[in-house]
A = this chain, B = another copy of it.
């Protein structure tokens, strides 16, 4: 029996967090350029793992080679682009107000920037073994902020996680940093997780996964004597609203795009569109039939791990037994329990509105078309939506103009607001917002994708009345790092006259 990945005992967590705290004390004093160097070295180290990393991840996750190579590329891009952002410093929100000694009372010199929170615990996800795991966005953002990181390996890919963790620790040593800026632990027990989240040295948590696990962590964190922030991205049903003019003109094209989005990666994306809402009639019938055909033609593929595969079957099965639900696709589930067979069902708006179970995410390639009686019922459906990562509108210009109330309600519940394209595919860029009102994530004010995610692991400090030579470089008069700063209310990269 493979004992390498046995649970890290809860009793050892205290020692681990002490080590992480000690590493943080060194790391927090290093300049942003050193943090950026670490991120770039990690990228190099992951690249150097070569095919061994890909084949290990294929074996552990059932994800196809091309997808994993893409995801590795994305992970490397995250690391290097966050390194650039770390040095550019947008995320630091530097504000400087210079003294006015002659004012009565005298105005003091006050200068503000972000400092790291402290050791961050990261729970990787099963569906992104690279990009949202050990060296994923949470870890990259925490390092960019200057925090040490303790990663709890996802139990579905501990070997992949270990390879990446070793690459991170080697990169730290190459940068002259303590190896303990990353500590890798294993655990499937609540005890290990709880010991990590509730340890006094833990200052924040990043998590990607289920609502149940994310909410448990959130409650642990808020029940501490000294509560800490939790950034849990807990998935979403990502509703797609079909407005009438657009549906009338493009039913089959939208159906094709939605079918790709639903079945992509065996539906195992947090931005998978789980609900598609339209007004009943011939256009929606045409859309639904086409969607069923496209999805029905898609070959089933293997899911990430047995737990996800069985949860998919169970939740879909339960959804299909609800009042008003009718299957659109007819393919029977395969005997191979690991296969996720793509499926579409439909339900009338009234039944949907009455049944909260149908509002819940079924993680996998399954979506429900909601047939509303009229636009008013569609507005009711939109109004009932819980917080979502994304809200998608399929509409013409006139649709959007004619249904402004609907547009406003959709905007109100989502973090990313999409027009005429599918929600899967989260671009890694500064303008991305990946997060949404609860329960999509525990803190809608922060993103887990894009370099603004660095802000999750930092807090501002205002320095008052410090002489120039004792200030951090970011705040010095001569702006040695050349950063954009807001000086006396004006954005500027200028030198301040001392």
Contacts and interface: CB of A to CB of B under 8 A. Distances in A.
Contact of A430 (B222, B452, B486): B486
A397 B464 contact: no
Nearest to A107: B427
Copies of chain A in the complex = 2
A110 B302 CA distance: 32
Contact of A463 (B417, B466, B467): B417
A85 B420 CA distance: 34
A436 to B, nearest CB: 9
Interface in A353-401: 386-387, 397, 400
A470 B401 CA distance: 9
A interface SS class: mixed
A3 interface: no
Contact of A411 (B421, B444, B461): B461
A397 B470 contact: yes
Interface in A24-51: 25, 29
The contact size tier of chain A is 35 or more
Contacts of A318: none
A427 B108 CA distance: 8
Contacts of A166: none
B397 A486 contact: no
A101 to B, nearest CB: 12
Interface stretch (A52-60, A90-98, A183-191, A322-330): A90-98
Interface string A81-115: 00011001010010111000000010110111001
A226 B431 contact: no
A487 to B, nearest CB: 9
Given A433-B462, A484-B491, 10 more contacts: A84-B489, A105-B425, A110-B427, A110-B431, A111-B431, A112-B432, A400-B470, A415-B460, A417-B463, A437-B459
Q: Which 6 A-B pairs have the closest CB atoms?
A: A433-B462, A95-B431, A110-B431, A97-B429, A97-B431, A112-B431
Interface of A: 25, 29, 84-85, 88, 90, 93, 95-97, 105, 107-108, 110-112, 115, 117, 218-219, 222, 226-227, 229, 386-387, 397, 400, 408, 411, 414-421, 425, 427, 429-433, 437-439, 442-445, 447, 452, 455, 458-467, 469-470, 484, 486, 489, 491
